[in-house]
Amino acid sequence: MIKPGIRRSVVLHYFIVVFLTMLILEAIFLISVRTYYYESVSNHLTYHSAVTTSYYQRYLSLGSNEDDQGWLTELLKLFKLDNAEVQILNRSGKVLVTSNEFKVDTPVTTSDVISALNGNINQWTGKQPGTGEAVMAVSAPLLVRGDIVYVLRLVTSLELVNDRINGIVLLSIIVSIAVLIVVLVISLGLANSIVKPVNEITAASAQMARGQFDIRIKEGYKYELGELAKTLNFMAHEIVRSNQLKNDFISSISHELRTPLTGIKGWSETLLSGQYDEAETKLGMNVISKETDRLIGLVEDLLDFSKLQQNKLQFHWHPVSLANVIEDTMLQVKKKAEQKQISLEERVRGTEIPLNADTNRLKQVFLNLIDNAIKFSPKESVITVHTTWDEEKAVVRIVDQGIGISHEHLAKVMDKFYQVNPSHGGTGLGLAITFELVKAHGGEMTIESELDVGTTVIVTLPVRMMPELQIVDEEKS
Amino acid sequence: MRTKRLIHSASLLLILLSVMLSGCQWIQDPKSLMSVPRLPTEKANLKSMIASQLPEGAILIRPTSSDDASAIRVTDLNNDGLADTAVVFYETPEKEVRIHGMVFHRDGDSWRMVVDFDGEGIKLDSVELIDITNDSRLDLVVGYGSNDTDLNKGLVIYTFTQDGINKLFEQPYSQFVIDDLDQNGKNQLFIVNNRRGQSPVLTAFDYQNGKMVKLNELAMDKEVNMYINMVSGFISKDHKGIVMDASAGANYWLTNVVVLNKDKVLEQVLSDDMTLKPYFTTSADINGDGIIEIAMPETPSGWDRLYESYEIPYFTNYFQWDGSNGLKLVDKQYRDYLDRFYLTFPKSWYGRVTVDTKSKKDEILIFVDQNTNEKLAEIRFFTPVMWDLNKEKWTYLSSFGDKIIGIISKEPLKLNKGLPKIPELNNNESNSK
């Protein structure tokens, strides 16, 4: 009818829930209707027999002559009840007289009669012998001189009552079916309201999967579906962006690789021609060597990065003096800073505690950060490295007065391959690698920046760093 | 377009209307859905057939003194195991002939009226279906009466024929029995007649050669005014007879016992003075041994002569015929004069029990041993309040109106019929007053 899917399960769930509810309600309703009808009839018979037998007991029982049929016939008038057959039975259940014109041949021994012989007024429901008609009988004891000598039995047909109950059953079943149909229609609508957006989102994401990332899903859906649409849209956007990053990276890395290669190629060709003197040859060889260093640095960066990505970078952990590392780094970049007339300052607050770290990696972190600061700082500016110690961590702030990073770029500068301005050269991996290394030391790195005012990079390194994971990694490798 | 809309609104109205109508039925009182149970098809067919044949204003009547008080009698006439004949009597109050009868025969599944005949009198006293013609076919014996039960009634015997009924016999009667008194396998009819100023006559009839023949008749005591009760059956282990209770003279009663002797002649076995009694008691098989007992009151010793008859707490003795001319006592009871209760004395009390003369029939009865004056039992009439205070000690006997009757006894007694009693029921009723 409906193919398998959310629509069918939603409709089915609604249907089952409502069907069960209806079923239970129906059962309760029918039981109570039946009880009400039967009880009413039973009460009517019981009340009538109680009243008339009480009257009989008080005023008529003395007139009883046990074998007088005429008297019993008279008694019938007292017990007469519209729409019921009145019988007077003897103790063995033989019908002595009945309001019906015919003689009853077989003794009656139903539970109501037995109960009446024990002195109680009781009711019995069953089938009338001869006709199989559903009847209700109520029997009451009739006493003569304190003995139960007769039993008054009122019998009424339940056919009309049952017909009425059946009518009610039928009607309520029809109503239930109608309700179920309405529920089905409504649940179909409800299922559609879920299925339709899901289908739309599915179709759109299928297009995305085929590479059409410019497609956007309508985000006006409610609740989870809206979230899903937004997420998918965001995902498409991110895919486009990372593609862009990759492309940028490839073009910049090509450029970066080509520049030194051009120098190497030029000088090596020049040298091959052999028309130069020794000094020139030396200069040429120097250039080739420098450019090769640059290439090696680049390739190493890339290697580091890919190792970091695959968690394969090896660390050599031992106690390290952070001040020494920073000092070494500052010495290394001093020349570069002097070229731009940038003054490097170092300030320390608190007592130094040796850190458990990898010296070279830590040096790489600060070299990268300070180098960056120099790169983006104007001439004659100041770069300050603040180190603050407390018992748990060391916080290193590298503050420059450079061009700064705009708000929109700030969140992404630590992404791989991201470059604020790809024409500046570089791989866009520096900060990403730095960030990963800080993380490997259990630290954190954040960047605060304001455009044209300056940038502050904050590196927090914990004192008690237990790089168990890395040690295990090392052992493995 | 317009018609479509019209159909639309019309059907909507119809649905609304039906819902409203069914809604009305929903709140119908269940009591109004009660109905008299259906009759089996065959009986229902017969009943509707009878109804269609009844003249306007006629009502079915039931006999007042037959064992079977049903209005429609269905019987197996020829003893083939199939109910084939139905007899009904009806009354037309405004017509010259009051009582009529109808006979129906069965034709497969339906019933056919065979005859509609006129009855006699204005009351239907008895209707019996019994074989009196000794042809293994049932005959119809009908007693027609008047409004006065003391007057003679009319007995008519009909035989069933192929196309109706045939009146065989007609006689006035006061009481009648049909029994095989001489135990020859053939039923005889015994009729007792009142004759004003003369002795009543008991007549025996027999069916011979197509008609009822008078066998024999016996003139009864001249003093008898009328016979009130007449039963037949065994009066000793192997003798059958007729027992008749009668009112006689100015203010006394007697019981006659009649048998058919060897010569098939009616004969009284007891002299009248043996069965004289100061008030009426009904003879019947009181102890269920299949033999009819003759009920005779006995004045407890100490009460004779000093008290008026209405003050005396009579005992009732039940005798059986001893086979010759005497009686033997089989049961001794105290029966309340208003029939509110009775109790059967144990055999050990016979010959010594009497009632203390301080007793009053409606208040207190003290049964004592007349030799030792030892109290044997006591019956007391309580108000409901007093009964509540005393019911621990006293045994419930009966109750009527606002009186509860209790008994204490040294020996266990058979009270009333000796059936289980429910004093609570009566007690509550009395209390709820």
pLDDT (0 to 100) of residue A44: 93
Q: Out of A49-53, A274-278, A437-441, pick the least confident.
A: A274-278
Question: What is the DSSP secondary-structure string of B250-263?
Answer: TTEEEEEEEEE-TT
DSSP-H helix ranges across B27-125: 41-53
pLDDT (0 to 100) of residue B15: 62
Q: Is the pLDDT of residue A197 over 80?
A: yes
User: Taking CB atoms and an 8 Å limit, are B60 and A40 in contact across chains?
Assistant: no
pLDDT (0 to 100) of residue A426: 61
- Residue A83, chain B, CB below 8 Å: the answer is yes
| Contacts B72 to A, Cβ<8 Å | 101-102
**Higher pLDDT, residue A300 or B317:** B317
Kindly provide the b/e burial profile for residues A314-331, where b requires at least 16 CB atoms within 10 angstroms of the residue's own CB: ebebeebebeebbeebbe
**Higher pLDDT, residue B175 or B420:** B175
The share of chain A scoring above pLDDT 70, in percent, equals 92
With CA atoms as reference, report the closest residue to B304 among B312, B293, B296, B315: B312
Q: How many CB atoms lie within 10 A of CB B237?
A: 10
Q: What is the largest CA-CA distance in chain B?
A: 114
Q: Tell me the average pLDDT across A251-273.
A: 83
Q: What is the ipTM of this complex?
A: 0.75
Q: Tell me the average pLDDT across B387-393.
A: 86
Q: Tell me the average pLDDT across A99-115.
A: 88
Question: Which is it for the CA torsion A339, A342, A347, A352, positive or negative?
Answer: negative
pLDDT (0 to 100) of residue A476: 39
Q: Is the pLDDT of residue B57 over 90?
A: no
Q: Tell me the average pLDDT across A161-171.
A: 89
CA-CA-CA-CA torsion for B348, B352, B354, B358, nearest 10 degrees?
-120
Token readout for A360 is 């070279």
Alpha-carbon span B235 to B179, nearest angstrom: 13
Q: pLDDT band at residue A475, thresholds of 50, 70 and 90? A: very low
Average pLDDT, chain B: 83
User: Taking CB atoms and an 8 Å limit, are B425 and A159 in contact across chains?
Assistant: no
Please name the residue that has the structure tokens 């003795």. Answer: B317
pLDDT (0 to 100) of residue A474: 42
Those residues with Cβ within 8 angstroms of residue A252's Cβ, 6 or more apart along the chain or in another chain: A419, A422, A425, A426, A427, A428
Token readout for A163 is 């017909």
Contact B328, B322 (CB under 8 A): yes
Of A91, A133, A148, the CB nearest to B37: A133
pLDDT tens for B262-293 read 888 898 888 878 888 888 888 888 888 889 99
The share of chain A scoring above pLDDT 90, in percent, equals 16
Please name the residue that has the structure tokens 């909507």. Answer: B12
Burial class (CB in 10 A: 0-12, 13-18, 19+), B36: middle
pLDDT tens for A205-224 read 898 888 888 888 888 888 88
Please name the residue that has the structure tokens 């250039």. Answer: A287
pLDDT tens for B92-134 read 888 888 899 999 988 877 888 999 999 888 888 889 999 888 8
Q: Tell me the average pLDDT across A92-103.
A: 87
pLDDT (0 to 100) of residue A465: 65
| Contacts A54 to B, Cβ<8 Å | 429
Token readout for B236 is 């000793």
pLDDT (0 to 100) of residue A48: 93
| N residues, chain B | 433
Q: Out of A234-238, B7-11, B53-57, B387-391, pick the least confident.
A: B7-11
Those residues with Cβ within 8 angstroms of residue B340's Cβ, 6 or more apart along the chain or in another chain: A62, A145, B398, B400, B405
Strand partners, A135: A126, A157
User: Taking CB atoms and an 8 Å limit, are A103 and B68 in contact across chains?
Assistant: yes
User: Taking CB atoms and an 8 Å limit, are A69 and B338 in contact across chains?
Assistant: no
Q: Is the pLDDT of residue B311 over 80?
A: yes
Q: Is the pLDDT of residue B52 over 80?
A: yes
Q: Which amino acid is at A112?
A: D
Phi–psi pair at A304, nearest 5 degrees: -50, -50
| Half-sphere exposure at residue B234, Cβ-oriented, CA atoms within 13 angstroms | 9
Alpha-carbon span B67 to A227, nearest angstrom: 94
pLDDT tens for A453-474 read 888 999 999 887 665 444 444 4
| Contacts A119 to B, Cβ<8 Å | 420, 422, 424-425
pLDDT (0 to 100) of residue B21: 53
With CA atoms as reference, report the closest residue to A466 among A444, A440, A446, A445: A440
Residue A404 to residues A342, A350, A366, A449, A458, Cα–Cα distance (Å): 16, 29, 18, 6, 15
How close is the nearest chain A Cα to the Cα of B378, in Å?
17
Token readout for A64 is 């009883």
Alpha-carbon span B6 to B8, nearest angstrom: 5
Secondary structure element (H or E) that encloses residue A261, with its range? helix A223-273
Token readout for A24 is 């239970």
| Contacts A131 to B, Cβ<8 Å | 37-41
Of A101, A147, A157, the CB nearest to B417: A147
Those residues with Cβ within 8 angstroms of residue B98's Cβ, 6 or more apart along the chain or in another chain: B91, B92, B119, B121, B122
Contact A147, A119 (CB under 8 A): no
Strands in A85-90's sheet, in edge-to-edge order, are A95-98, A85-90, A147-157, A134-144, A122-127
Alpha-carbon span A254 to B12, nearest angstrom: 82
The 3-state DSSP class for residue A202 equals helix
Phi–psi pair at B234, nearest 5 degrees: -70, 135
| Half-sphere exposure at residue A169, Cβ-oriented, CA atoms within 13 angstroms | 11
Strand partners, B294: B319
Q: Is the pLDDT of residue A356 over 70?
A: yes
| Contacts B31 to A, Cβ<8 Å | 40-41, 44
Secondary structure element (H or E) that encloses residue B415, with its range? strand B414-415
Alpha-carbon span A253 to A230, nearest angstrom: 34
Residues 113-132 of A with CB under 8 A from B: 118-119, 128, 130-131
How close is the nearest chain B Cα to the Cα of A14, in Å?
27
pLDDT tens for B22-50 read 555 555 788 888 888 888 888 888 888 89
Chain A residue with the nearest C-alpha to that of B433? A58
CA-CA-CA-CA torsion for A305, A309, A312, A313, nearest 10 degrees?
40
Q: Is the pLDDT of residue A252 over 80?
A: no
Q: Is the pLDDT of residue A66 over 80?
A: no
Contact A186, B65 (CB under 8 A): no
| Contacts A69 to B, Cβ<8 Å | 63-69
Alpha-carbon span A315 to A323, nearest angstrom: 20
pLDDT (0 to 100) of residue A266: 87
Between A and B, how many CB-CB pairs are < 8 A?
156
Q: How many CB atoms lie within 10 A of CB A118?
A: 12
Secondary structure element (H or E) that encloses residue B432, with its range? none
Q: pLDDT band at residue B232, thresholds of 50, 70 and 90? A: very high
With CA atoms as reference, report the closest residue to A127 among A104, A110, A151, A107: A110
User: Taking CB atoms and an 8 Å limit, are A62 and B397 in contact across chains?
Assistant: no
Strands B375-382 and B403-409: antiparallel
Q: Is the pLDDT of residue A69 over 80?
A: no
| Contacts A37 to B, Cβ<8 Å | 30, 33
User: B209: alpha, beta or left, given left = phi > 0 and alpha = psi -120 to 50?
Assistant: left
Kindly provide the b/e burial profile for residues A221-260, where b requires at least 16 CB atoms within 10 angstroms of the residue's own CB: beeebeebbeebbeebeeeeeeeebeeebeebbeebeeeb
Token readout for B166 is 């045939």
* Distance from the first to the final alpha carbon of chain A: 60
Contact A128, A138 (CB under 8 A): no
| Contacts B404 to A, Cβ<8 Å | none
pLDDT (0 to 100) of residue A291: 84
- Residue A200, chain B, CB below 8 Å: the answer is no
Secondary structure element (H or E) that encloses residue A125, with its range? strand A122-127
Q: Is the pLDDT of residue B433 over 70?
A: no
Strand partners, B255: B245
Q: How many CB atoms lie within 10 A of CB B54?
A: 17
pLDDT (0 to 100) of residue A371: 87
Chain B residue with the nearest C-alpha to that of A169? B26
Token readout for A118 is 């024990």
Q: Tell me the average pLDDT across B226-250.
A: 89
With CA atoms as reference, report the closest residue to B197 among B225, B227, B229: B225
| Half-sphere exposure at residue B357, Cβ-oriented, CA atoms within 13 angstroms | 10
Q: Is the pLDDT of residue A450 over 90?
A: no
Question: What is the DSSP secondary-structure string of B180-201?
Answer: -TT-SS--EEEEEE--TTS--E
How close is the nearest chain A Cα to the Cα of B204, in Å?
25
Q: Tell me the average pLDDT across A429-439.
A: 83
Those residues with Cβ within 8 angstroms of residue B229's Cβ, 6 or more apart along the chain or in another chain: B175, B243, B244, B245, B282, B283
pLDDT (0 to 100) of residue A27: 92
Token readout for B246 is 């009668």
User: Taking CB atoms and an 8 Å limit, are A58 and B400 in contact across chains?
Assistant: yes
pLDDT (0 to 100) of residue A20: 93
| Half-sphere exposure at residue B361, Cβ-oriented, CA atoms within 13 angstroms | 20
Alpha-carbon span B142 to B231, nearest angstrom: 17
Contact A458, A397 (CB under 8 A): yes
